[in-house]
Amino acid sequence: MQVVEYQTILFDLFPSIESLTEKPQYQWLNQIEVRKIIVYGREKSGKTELVRKLAEMFIERYGLENCNIVSSRNADLLMRSGLDQSKLVNVLVWEDATLQKIELDTASRFFRIRHLMTRRTGLIVTIVVCHRLHGIPIEFRTEPDYILFKSLPIGYDKSVVKRFVGTKGIRYLQEIIANGDRSKTLVCDCRRDQAQTIELTLAQRNYLGTLYPRKSNMNFVGKTIFFGWLVFIGYLVWSLISRLT
């Protein structure tokens, strides 16, 4: 399969700034663009490297001051706290999504993600990183815009992937495994039913921010009580020693 420039297949992933900042005709109209991506690959196939490169490409396209790019292994946290209302471009990356459980509200937020924004213009990109297509919640693999393959699926996933990329795509993925070539990616444009191979260099800088769950107040309260208990015990011991001397 011939290698093409990424713009050939991913041109719709990077809308122009002019189109993203154009004021809606009506004040109530929501013109935020949404792109949904799945990155598939077995362990050590280069999935994280690919996501870092995509993050760098968004920064180069729209500028660091206009972008919010965050990743998390917790989809619930990502959907609740990942969006930055002040940024023109929001990129949310769900890392290691395979077999992760999600709350019902998280699925609802994913489907109406552009309506969670107070602004009316911009771009939201969701990236789900997995090593098993049918190991991620169905809500997150429904109607993706792009699927980026770093390796060949096996089992039931293989038959599903064949419908996207055809026999030629399957053969190419087999070559990736045989050659250990991590720079090449098979991209499937699900809306146009097209598949192309792209080659990307490694990212020069890591722009991925990471969201971590906040420590609960109960942990703080528990530590305070424990510290107070230690002080009390120390006081009793000191009092006992003072009386004995």
For 131-141, write each residue's pLDDT tens digit. Answer: 888 888 888 88
pTM of the entire predicted model? 0.83
Backbone phi and psi for residue 12, each to the nearest 5 degrees, phi listed first: -80, -5
* pLDDT (mean) for 223-228: 75
For 204, the token pair is 């020069």
pLDDT at residue 34, as a whole number: 97
Indicate the SS3 state at residue 67: strand
For 181-212, write each residue's pLDDT tens digit. Answer: 788 899 999 888 888 889 999 999 999 999 98
Q: Is the pLDDT of residue 219 over 60?
A: no
For 31, the token pair is 């013109």
Backbone phi and psi for residue 209, each to the nearest 5 degrees, phi listed first: -90, 155
pLDDT at residue 215, as a whole number: 62
pLDDT at residue 10, as a whole number: 94
Q: What percent of the chain has pLDDT over 70?
A: 95
pLDDT at residue 32, as a whole number: 96
For 147-156, write each residue's pLDDT tens digit. Answer: 999 988 777 7
105 Cα distance to chain centroid: 18
145 Cα distance to chain centroid: 14
Q: Is the pLDDT of residue 229 over 80?
A: no
For 24-80, write each residue's pLDDT tens digit. Answer: 888 889 999 999 999 999 888 899 999 999 999 999 999 999 999 999 999 999 999
Q: Please tell me what DSSP assigns to residue 216.
A: P
Q: Is the pLDDT of residue 116 over 70?
A: yes
End-to-end CA distance of the chain: 89
Residue 188's CB: how many other CB atoms inside 10 A?
25
Q: Is the pLDDT of residue 1 over 70?
A: no
pLDDT at residue 220, as a whole number: 59
Q: Is the pLDDT of residue 216 over 70?
A: no
Q: Is the pLDDT of residue 87 over 90?
A: yes
Q: Which residues contact residue 109 at a Cβ distance below 8 angstroms, ignoring those fewer than 6 apart? A: 79, 80, 116
56 Cα distance to chain centroid: 14
| Gap between the Cα atoms of 116 and 241, Å rounded | 63
| Gap between the Cα atoms of 123 and 15, Å rounded | 8
